[in-house]
Structure 1
Amino acid sequence: MTSHSTSPHADQSTRHDATGTELIVDVGPIAHGGHFVARHEGRVIFVRHGIPGEKVRIRLTDSGESSRFWRADVVEVLDASTDRVPHFWKLADSPGSWRRGGPPVGGAELGHIALPRQRALKAEVLSEQLKRLAGLDLATEVEAVGNNDDGGLGWRTRASFAVTPKGRLGMHAHRSDTVVPVKDMPLALPGINELRLWELDLTGIARVEVAVPANGTRPLVLLAPEETTSPKRLHSILSQLPQDVSVASFDPAKGQVLQLRGRTWVQETAAGHEYRVTGEGFWQIHKDAPDTLVNAVTGYLSGGGYLQAGAAVADLYAGAGLFTAALADAVGVTGSVLSVEGAPGTSRDARKNLHGETQVEIVQGRVERVLHQRPRSFDSLVLDPPRAGAGKAVVKQLMASGPRAIAYVSCDPASFARDLGYFHQGGWKLEAVRAFDLYPHTHHLETVALLLPAN
């Protein structure tokens, strides 16, 4: 352990000021969600921006006498871990941000930790969730993805921004309405920063979404205008953006995307296929994620003989068809692929992306409803649900369809472990699992598992 700094108040365990309460605590183990567990007078506090074993001063950000637990940010490191490194992003560095008078931006909550330790901590979370929710005692590893020399930066092909009351590009602090002005996004591809959106007057815009495909094709900027924003104001913002950038307005509540200039979609490339992704349509945000996940899924299913020419397979929560295309390649024209996606716009993208693949049937609707209305048997399934997971009802339907194998792709360890518990109760087993660090410097990870019926 090495000492970072000591404040003149370091001899006080508790201090109150006009903006919050500060405490000195010892940081305990990591918990799901990017926090670390600390305790003060018997109270559990979920602390962000710490490392297990450190002694830190924290600032309470969410507290109350009746609360089961409190939340806090580290504002000063009194005894540092050897895994602590200088944060790569000034605006996301918690102690520095609070010294300047406000909270850090969200989205890089592990940036103060050396990358190998970040991955080890994520593996601890995955193992803990598997044990607690699925009853599986399993050591796990979180694999690095892409270029190991990039410091975990420059991987995001998509970024979401808020707008400050003064009309400047910003990002929210964690669990807060506070919008912090930003002038760079180090986790994003260079193409996003090269737009220099922070130089624009965005008055009248509530939110900005940016998609810059990793293949270098035309980027898309989505503007969510406030209700009172006039068309004249919208076009004034449009005129400030480079001519080679597509621009559209969108209504998050209605899911509508309206063309302002260029296309309302971007062209992505993965696993030998081209994909059209409209507006806010789902696409993996790490530049190397699509190929990484397709290779993991097809490796599991093909390697076990569950995915071959002539097979009947399904891609559930299929998005724009990333896995559907790979499945169609594997089963050939003598096989069949059912591709199910709930979002109408994304399902239309899948229909365009798979046009001409006669073995593919694209169905738009809720997975549980489609499986109920179209009962059939499958040789294997790919399951890639949203963060909330598939849920008990869908898991039962999947097991009832009688597949020989299921490849489960998950972005949330808790819902993944919960669903594994349902599979286990139904007589299925976890045959293999891989975890990938597709979100460096954040607490998120992606998991691909192979599930088989126990008999």
Structure 2
Amino acid sequence: MGHRHPRTRKPRGRSRVGERFEAEVGPVAHGGHCVVRLPEPESRVVFVRHAIPGERVVLEVTEGTDGDRFWRADAVEVLAASPDRVVPPCPFAGPGLCGGCDFQHVRLGRQRELKADVVREQLSRLAGLDVAVTVEGVPGDVPEVELGLRWRTRQQYVHLADGGIGMRRHRSRDVIRIDDCRIAHPDAREPAPGTVVEEVDGRRFEVAADGFWQVHPGAPQTLVGAVLDALRPQPGETCLDLYAGVGLFSRFLADAVGESGRVVAVEGDRQASALSALNVSTADVRAGDVGEVLATAYDDPFDLVVLDPPREGARRPVVEQVVARRPRAVAYVACDPAALARDVGIFAEHGYLLRSLRALDLFPMTHHVECVALLEKTDPDLR
């Protein structure tokens, strides 16, 4: 699980790191923390980890100076606990410990409600939409997945000199020694050279062992089902699969549209694109930056588009290239609700409205959530 590290910058006044304040915890925010508003004389917004909305806590500042607009902090003492607070199943989860999980202290059902709140808030703030959101659990291949544990099939550790393993603190290079990661699948593997074979609904996919593949064992089949249910591809239709990876969606789209249809798969990573050509022999596969490829090729109309961009989203140039192909429907697979909301707003400018949304808990115990959005144009006669 990747960790962001704070950028080195000049201090903006006296450091407040280590100072403690008693406070009421406000709403959840995007990123795995909750919002606390300190009254005067501090008058500061603080993003607090290890808290739950409605609790009263003692927070300790972990990043912040007098000149910063906001601070970061950990809840180091709980004065009035939420009924949704639980003992973390992992002993390495908590203030100052492993930074890999955000919500181990929260009942699993409440974790999903918090993620739904974030998706709903981002769509409201960035796209002007009022959308009902429910985050769905996703089944796995071991019983612990139902508890939010043992789902991560790929995991990377810090290997210690004595043969032990460790994980990074939140927003830090500091290493915490662990004996076991409780969200790691029993057969989890670390990135390595070479390729492996993954199977989804009877189809085999060759995947780079150190390349992208969904890490929840139930994710590929669940996502394929969500995309196909949204788009309902028909024999003979044309499909554009953007950020296609190794061809997961392309393979199932090709099966659905048949020999009379067409699937074009565009992927920026050349190794993944080469594997996509191997995994989906009937697709027209192109390696290259999605925006650059769409600016120079495949400018004929397409019936369907799948967008599965990286965390920063598709962004305006790609969205407008997609709209120019005049698809009847777009399935947008998003790992970041803020990027999804921004792009949904751009689609709306061009007459493509959000018709349905599924939110999937592919990353239990963390703040991450995957969404599959269906966008359709308001006037189907505009083709």
Q: Same fold (TM over 0.5)?
A: yes
Structure 1 unmatched ranges of 5 or more: 1-16, 95-102, 193-209, 211-220, 223-247, 249-256, 258-263
> Which residues of 2 match residues 188-267 of structure 1 at below 5 A?
188-192=184-188, 210=189, 221-222=190-191, 248=192, 257=193, 264-267=194-197
Q: Distance in 2 between matches of 1:44 and 1:405?
A: 40
Give the distance between the partners of 2:160 and 2:68, measured in 1 at CA.
Answer: 31
**Pair 1:171 & 2:167 matched:** yes
For residues 368 and 199 of structure 2, the distance between their equivalents in structure 1, rounded to whole angstroms, comes to 24
Distance 2:28 2:18 in 1: 24
Distance 1:337 1:59 in 2: 53
Q: Choose which of 412, 417, 430 in structure 1 pairs with 2:354.
A: 430
Q: State the alpha-carbon separation in 2 of the partners of residues 136 and 20 from structure 1.
A: 39
Structure 1 residue 161 displacement after superposition: 1.8
Q: Is the 8 A contact 2:16 2:63 kept in 1?
A: no
| Structure 1 partner of 2:77 | 76
Q: Give 1:334-353 correspondences, 5 Å limit.
A: 334-353=260-279
The question of 1:63 aligning with 2:64 is answered yes
String of CA shifts for 1:147-172, please: whole Å, max 9, x gaps. Answer: 68731111111112224576642111
Aligned partner of residue 317 in structure 2, secondary structure = helix
Tell me the secondary structure at the aligned position of residue 331 of structure 2. Answer: strand
Work out the CA distance in 1 between the residues paired with 2:309 and 2:202.
23
**CA positional deviation for 1:420:** 0.4
For residue 53 of structure 1, give the secondary structure of its aligned residue in structure 2. Answer: coil
TM-score by length of 2: 0.90
Number of positions where the alignment pairs a residue of Structure 1 with one of Structure 2: 358
Q: Quick one: higher RCO (CA 8 Å, sep 6+), 1 or 2? A: 2
Residue 11 of structure 1 corresponds to which residue in structure 2? none
Give how far 1:18 is off.
11
Query: 1:346-365: CA deviations, max 9, x gaps?
Result: 1111122123x2xx111000
Counterpart mapping for 1:28-39 below 5 A? 28-39=26-37
Mapped to 2, the partners of 1:449 and 1:291 lie a distance apart of 16
CA distance in 1, matches of 2:286, 2:86: 48
Contact 1:310–1:336 (8 Å) recurs in 2: yes
What letter corresponds to residue 265 of structure 2 in structure 1?
Answer: S
1:180 matched to which residue of 2? 176
The letter for the 2-side match of 1:335 is: G
Separation of aligned partners in 2, 1:155 and 1:75: 28
Residue identity matched to 2:202:
G
Q: Deviations over 1:30-66 (max 9, x none)?
A: 0000110002231000000100111111121111111
Mapping 1:398-417, distance limit 5 Å? 398-417=322-341
Task: Say whether the 8 Å CA contact 1:86–1:112 is kept in structure 2.
Answer: yes
1:363 equivalent in structure 2: 286
- Distance in 2, matches of 1:394 and 1:430, equals 17
Distance in 2, matches of 1:49 and 1:146, equals: 26
Kindly report structure 1 stretches of 4+ aligned residues shifted beyond 4 Å: 164-167
Note closer, same or farther for the CA distance 1:400–1:81 as it changes in structure 2 (3 Å cut). Answer: same
Contact residue 342 and residue 364 of structure 1 kept, 8 A: yes
Q: 2:158 aligns with which of 158, 162, 165?
A: 162
Structure 1 counterpart of 2:372, which letter? V
1:388 maps to a residue whose letter is E
Correspondence 1:110 to 2:40: no
Q: Which of the pair has more CA radius of gyration? A: 1
1:327 and 2:253 matched: yes
Query: Could you tell me how far apart the structure 2 residues matched to 1:139 and 1:179 are?
Result: 40
Give, in whole Å, the separation in 1 of the partners of 2:175 and 2:160: 6
**% identity of equivalent residues:** 47
CA contact (8 A) 1:164 1:179 kept: no
Q: 2:139 aligns with which of 138, 142, 146?
A: 146
Contact 1:281-1:320 at 8 Å conserved across structures: no
| Aligned residue type for 2:165 | L
Are the aligned partners of 2:16 and 2:66 in contact in 1 as well (CA < 8 Å)?
Answer: no
Q: Go from structure 1 to structure 2 and tell me whether the alpha carbon gap of 1:64 and 1:166 turns closer, same or farther (over 3 Å shift).
A: farther
- C-alpha separation in 1, matches of 2:21 and 2:345: 38
Other-structure match for 2:366: 442
- Name 1:373's counterpart in structure 2: 296
Q: Residues of 1 paired with 2:278 and 2:170: CA distance? A: 37
Q: CA deviation at 1:124?
A: 0.6
1:93, CA displacement in angstroms?
2.5
Distance in 2 (CA, whole Å) between partners of 1:21 and 1:82 is 27
Q: What residue is the counterpart of 1:290 in the other structure?
A: 220
Distance 1:450 1:86 in 2: 38
2:220 partner SS? helix
Question: In structure 2, what residue type is equivalent to 1:106?
Answer: G
d(CA) in 2 for partners of 1:173, 1:271: 38
CA contact (8 A) 1:428 1:453 kept: yes
Contact 2:16/2:64 (8 A) holds in 1? no
2:206 maps to: 276
Letter in 2 for 1:121: L
Q: 1:74, 1:104 → 2: CA distance?
A: 13
What value does the CA root-mean-square deviation take over the aligned residues?
A: 1.7
Alpha-carbon distance between aligned partners in 1 of 2:57 and 2:195, rounded to the nearest angstrom? 46
